[in-house]
Chain A
């Protein structure tokens, strides 16, 4: 476990920031995951302005990363912007839900020097468009990729692999639970 101790003054500062965010940007679903990490959700239209304000006024100057989680069952892609405040040792995970079918989000490439790289990757891996983001259409990892964005949940890696690459003898996949039940614990019976 983390040995982080955050003093009362810094906690109060963080609470005041969260109150301002609630008031000015109507953030919701505020959850303190652990000391030093809070998650919250904000509407897509207000996200860029809020992130800019956090950087410029609230000293969340470090963009740890930005990433995406595919909730295919809800038809949304959840963008996560992880910002860190070095003074209060507090991180904010900002969730922004966007429609999976019209995946587009305001670019933050003017806020951090490395942000366009993340956006380029998210375009390639999740098919999210970030208008005006530099070099967005350039290949990031995948050269000449013409399939659906591979990090989406409905992209079937095994199927793609079978179709694209030749079969190699000796490659088998086992369900670990079944494999162990049959080979390692044959006399144990049902362990469900």
Chain B
């Protein structure tokens, strides 16, 4: 594992240029008639959401790529500065549509840290369960998007349908399918409903079986193998210079996972290992995510066994209209499906937050890294490459 070493990294060949060569490509003579400029997006090209790639082609080979975002910009961070702490809960979950729970959790955690609120153990278990169910739901959607990008349309029907069953569980648990607004400062809004464990285990059993089928149908498919292997290779020396995290980093053997490295909630009491892979190309990253989906099911099963059925699920909190959050500053983070997801919060003692910065992994994966990896690839593979980096534009634009 050749991790980032500024003294030597410039000498490592990545197939493009040295890892620390961040220079922009030279301008091309578009009037020469040799090149074509086309746009990929911003209509929703799959799991990647609304973002656009401005591509310059030489024949069918990409020689320049620029990412354009802003199509989903709603100014979440600005909105939060003008709303009271409790009013921000319906706002934060909308920052990453397929994975809203991490936003809820991190916003709540940041408020709790600055206010010095301790969360009851039962609520911590329920939060861990909720976040792992979110991971499973998000990965199921991603597997569908990845297969679709490579022309495999059977698998998306299976996995999106399985995701719907997980959303049914969310509906039982929180009252909402997509946006739950469930994790509030001090704990969660309610305990688990009666009979939830049994129904959740049924869904996990069917998800486990489904993943076996997905592995047979997708990962042994000749076309998928031929197109995804060798596409968008990430080498270890790129990891820190480009801020690469999560499965994109673990795909090339970097053993980093916040759930293990800096455990939060109940992850230090769960039995799991960090999964890595040798080749972080589109195929390797997809296979790694398949394994992490299985791991997530295992973690959900463990949580279901251990979540207490009795006890407080919320700390004693004042009326939400009278929260007094002292002046302070913190940065909280959690491992989402795409890697480190973080909330940086500054408060000034007033009833409004002074500043919230949302750190999404897509910010570095979807722009600087994407623009680098796209060059040299065939236009037909660009959608697959985008999906393989697992980007969500709303967390770039916030």
Contact = CB atoms under 8 A, between A and B. Distances in A.
Interface string B252-269: 000010000111100110
A82 B346 contact: no
B43 interface: no
**Which of B240, B267, B397 has most A Cβ within 10 Å?**
B240
Contact of A110 (B22, B75, B113, B340): B22
Contacts of B328: 33
Interface string A42-74: 000000000000011000011111010110000
B41 interface: no
Contacts of A114: 242-243, 363-364, 367-369
Contact of A67 (B87, B267, B344, B368): B344
A78 B333 CA distance: 21
A58 B316 CA distance: 42
A99 B6 CA distance: 32
A100 interface: no
Contacts of A67: 344, 355, 357
A125 to B, nearest CB: 9
B264 A113 contact: no
A163 to B, nearest CB: 16
A55 B268 CA distance: 29
B95 interface: no
B190 interface: no
B118 interface: yes
Interface residues of A, number: 52
A37 B369 contact: no
B22 A113 contact: yes
A141 B331 contact: no
Contacts of A146: none
Interface string B1-19: 0001011000000000000
B84 interface: yes
Interface in A1-46: 1-4, 31, 33-34, 36-37, 39
Contact of A89 (B75, B78, B262, B363): B262
B168 interface: no
Interface residues of B, number: 58
Nearest to B266: A3
A87 B112 CA distance: 27
A151 B344 contact: no
A127 to B, nearest CB: 14
B24 interface: yes
Interface in A86-123: 86, 89, 91, 93, 109-110, 112-118
B7 to A, nearest CB: 8
Nearest to B87: A176
A142 interface: yes
Nearest to B112: A1
B330 A37 contact: yes
B242 A65 contact: no
A112 B346 contact: no
B344 A86 contact: no
Interface in A132-184: 134-135, 139-143, 150-151, 153, 155, 157-158, 176-177, 180
B243 A112 contact: yes
Contacts of A139: 70
A14 to B, nearest CB: 14
A134 B367 CA distance: 13
A177 B352 CA distance: 13
Interface of B: 4, 6-7, 22-24, 69-70, 73, 75, 77-79, 81-82, 84, 86-87, 112-113, 118-119, 238, 240-243, 256, 261-264, 267-268, 319, 321-322, 328-333, 340, 342, 344, 346, 354-355, 357, 359, 363-364, 367-369, 372, 397
Closest 10 CB pairs of A and B: A141-B70, A114-B364, A67-B357, A61-B240, A113-B242, A114-B368, A69-B355, A141-B73, A65-B359, A113-B368
Given A64-B243, A69-B346, 8 more contacts: A4-B262, A62-B243, A64-B342, A114-B368, A139-B70, A150-B78, A157-B82, A177-B321
14 contacts: A2-B262, A33-B328, A34-B330, A37-B331, A63-B243, A65-B357, A69-B346, A89-B262, A93-B331, A113-B241, A113-B368, A141-B70, A141-B73, A177-B321
